[in-house]
Each structure stands twice: as structure tokens, then as C-alpha cells.
Amino acid sequence: MAKARVALENIVTVLEQRAGAQDLDVLMKRVQIAATRLTSVESALRAAQADWNALETERSGVELRLGQLRLRAESGGEGVRPMFELMAESTETERKRVLQRMIQLTQEIAARRAELDRRRDELADWQRVLDRRLASLAP
């Protein structure tokens, strides 16, 4: 009976160790998933910021062109003024389109930053859980 009891205790110990190892594997996987999600959001944020910067450059160019067209319309004679005014109207429409897209991207960037903060917190939480679990296993 004593040998059977020792054998059963050994089996219990082995099963507990395996369960602990599986628990660690699951925690490690959660940390990896959280890190992957964080990286994905960081990439999306960088892309949105790059798009915004490109639009800012485009906006500057459009506004410069618009200013030049307005000056030409003001200084031009009666024959060319309507042509420059029409071009200025078209350019103003383009400027408004660029500004609208910039507003949308500004909102998207703010949302991505908030999501990034949430993902960083999520990763930190899972890392703390894993660290506590590893610390409990230390001799």
C-alpha cells in the first residue's frame, strides 16, 4: 500500500507539473498575441500619420496654387480673369477635399492612439500575469 501511495503521489506531482507547464504556455501565447496586436496597431498608426503628412504637403501645394490663381485673376485683364477664377474655384474645391480627408485622418489617428494605449495596457497586464506565475515557480 505504501508503494502504491508513493506512486500515486508521484503521478499527482507529474500531472501538476504538466498542468503548470500548460498554464505557462497559454500565458506565453497570450503575451505573444497581445504583442502582435500592439504591433499591428502601431503599423496602422504610422500609416495614418504618413497619409496625414502627405495630405499636409498636398494642402500646402494646393493653397500656394490657389493663391497664385487668385492673384492672376485679380491682376489679369477681362479676357483672362474668368479663366483664372474658374481655375481658382476648382482648386478651392480640391483644397476642401484635402482638408476634409485631413480631418478624417486626424480622427483616425486619435482613435489609433487610444487603441494603442489600450493594447499597451493589455500587453503589460498579460506580462504581469506571466511574471507572477513564473515567480511562483521559482525555488
Running along the chain, 139 residues long, what does each successive block of 10 average in pLDDT? Answer: 66 61 84 94 97 97 91 79 87 96 98 97 93 79
Look at residue 25 and tell me if it is in a domain: no
Q: How many angstroms separate the CA atoms of 29 and 129, rounded? A: 12
Task: Please check whether residue 108 lies inside any domain of the structure.
Answer: yes
Degrees to nearest 5, angle at CA 122 with 117 and 125: 125
Task: Using alpha carbons, select from 57, 59, 41 the residue that is nearest to residue 110.
Answer: 41
Task: Tell me which residue range forms the domain holding 47.
Answer: 39-137
Residue 93 belongs to some domain of the structure: yes
Please indicate, yes or no, if residue 26 is contained in any of the structural domains: no
Quote the CA–CA distance of 119 and 125 in Å, as a whole number. Answer: 10
Q: Residues in the chain, how many?
A: 139
Answer yes or no: is 34 within a domain: no
The whole-number pLDDT of residue 77 equals 72
Q: Is residue 9 part of a domain?
A: no
> What's residue 85's pLDDT?
85
- This prediction has a pTM of 0.75
Report the domain count for the chain: 1
**24 lies in some domain:** no
pLDDT of res. 7: 65
Instruction: Give the contacts of 24 (CB within 8 A, at least 6 positions apart).
Output: 130, 133, 134, 137
**Would you say 35 and 130 are in contact if contact means Cβ atoms under 8 Å apart?**
no
What pLDDT was estimated at residue 15? 57
Distances (CA, A) of 26 to 30, 61, 100, 108, 135: 6, 53, 45, 33, 16
